[in-house]
Amino acid sequence: MVSWFCKIFPNVVNLGWLGDTGWGTSIGQTLYMTFWSAIFGGLLGIIFGIVLVLTNSNGIRPNHFWFNFCDKVVSIFRAVPFIILLAFIEPVTEKIVGTKIGIKAALVPLTLGVFPFYARQVQVALESVSHGKIEAAQSLGATIWDIIFTVYLKEARSELIRVSTVTIISLIGLTAMAGAIGAGGIGNTAISYGYTRYDNDVTFIATVLIVIMIFIVQVVGDFFAKKLNHQNR
């Protein structure tokens, strides 16, 4: 089995497990980038999503200025292609993490690249909470925080998990590009050690690994989205 694998995928085996070019290293880098940018981008996205819903003209705190501000920020960042964003915000990256290359430097563009996408999806998810439930909470004298946490976030939680799954999947896609600024990861392995060296077996295995990762995220996401759903839709 092992010798068979070495025969068909010689270059894959040559890259090794640990070390600079190793598979374990690149998997770890992808997970690291996905995890931290999901946390930072997720927080930003949730905050923007909530503000968009609350300050919208039919929201519970209509505010033209803040709605427009968040709306424009989200739209602008969404409009910039990620690979260009990587280069474009380099100076900001350096200010925040102290370097413009490497895995830490990739977190800044990844966060900024994913949060507007997530913010829009959070906005849609929260708007799916019926206005009646908000009214009911208001009629009980609930505070704005009660409405955000107990009504919006809790009632939409299944939908939020669903959109988070989609976001994490597209985030894994973005990490593949982060190799362009030396952040490593599986995508980088596929391009640098597979594509540019004409080692197609490396590209193939890298692809399989990414697909497996995405598959796991999807299955786990679907499981919780279903389990935590008590809505009658």
Instruction: Name the phi and psi angles at 222, rounded to 5.
Output: -60, -40
In whole angstroms, the minimum distance from the beta carbon of 145 to another protein comes to 10
Say how far apart CA 33 and CA 139 lie, in whole Å: 44
Least separation in angstroms between residue 231's CB and another protein is 5
Task: Work out how close the CB of 42 gets to another protein at its nearest, in angstroms, rounded to a whole number.
Answer: 20
Cα three-residue angle 129-173-68, rounded to 5 degrees:
45
Say how far apart CA 29 and CA 23 lie, in whole Å. Answer: 10
Other C-beta atoms closer than 10 Å to the C-beta of 146 total 14
Sites of contact with another protein (CB under 8 A): 130, 132-133, 135-143, 146, 150-151, 154-155, 157-158, 228, 230-232
Kindly write down the DSSP assignment for every residue of 133-191, as one continuous string: HHHHHHHTT--HHHIIIIIIIHHTHHHHHHHHHHHHHHHHHHHGGGGGGT--SHHHIII
Question: What tokens appear for 19 in the block?
Answer: 């070390």
Q: Which is nearer to another protein, 75 or 231 (CB)?
A: 231
